[in-house]
Structure 1
């Protein structure tokens, strides 16, 4: 991995840790982090009351390329939906309510992170979609 890729990964990991701290303060119970499968990775899986929440975390050091939440494209949404469906199916939790949130973090060098939590950021999309 080149230096730019390494720095991007470092910022992303730091952002995920900040998102977990934020979500715990909001009362979420974290079930899993960086859950990987052949379909893709789910950044954070948490419980918000009775609802299973699949949370995509996007961290940027500026808005030069747009707001971090804008990086959760329709293609990414379909991938997250498929990975979430597989996760629920493997645990026999398909009957549980579920939703998709995005935690967008802007972390400018030398300052505290700015966290934007977008609840119900997108509906389940694509083939084999799920409903809550």
Structure 2
């Protein structure tokens, strides 16, 4: 059995970056099981990052993946603030422009996959360009 990579301060535990990548992969696999098709991961733009870009039919879906151990402070979905939404929208605009598209020409939406403890929630069309 493969050993879990160690974080800097906690031998045997994942670093925050490694943990984030693991939850993103879990979300990707879960969404693929729901029929979405993977396009890209960890797309970066000026000041923002989109965790996953997938397709559902003809719709391009920009997905933010969040994890919280518990709902004590509002759960995972509550952590997608207005400022975070704005960054995601701007990054999506840049990605679309690089692929000869825009919000006017491409059918797209913004989803959140929220893992809180052992629960997963999928918020389709969680926010949009008017956010």
TM-score range, shorter chain: 0.7 to 0.9
* Structure-1 separation of matches of 2:125 and 2:70: 24
Q: Which residue does 1:48 correspond to in 2? A: 56
Q: Which residue does 1:118 correspond to in 2? A: 123
Shift of 1:9: 2.8
* Structure-2 separation of matches of 1:11 and 1:60: 11
Shift of 1:2: 6.3
Identify the structure with the greater helix proportion.
Answer: 1
Aligned residues: 120
Unaligned runs of 5+ in 2: 1-6
Shift of 1:29: 0.6
User: Counterpart of 2:122 in 1: which secondary structure?
Assistant: strand
Shift of 1:96: 1.2
Change (3 A) 1:11 1:63: farther
Unaligned runs of 5+ in 1: 108-112, 127-132
- CA deviations 1:42-68 (Å, max 9, x no partner) are 100000100101000001111222210
| Contact kept in structure 2, 1:11 and 1:59, CA below 8 Å | no
TM-score computed with the length of structure 2 as normaliser: 0.83
Q: CA RMSD in A?
A: 1.9
**Larger Rg belongs to:** 2
Identify the structure with the greater strand proportion.
Answer: 2
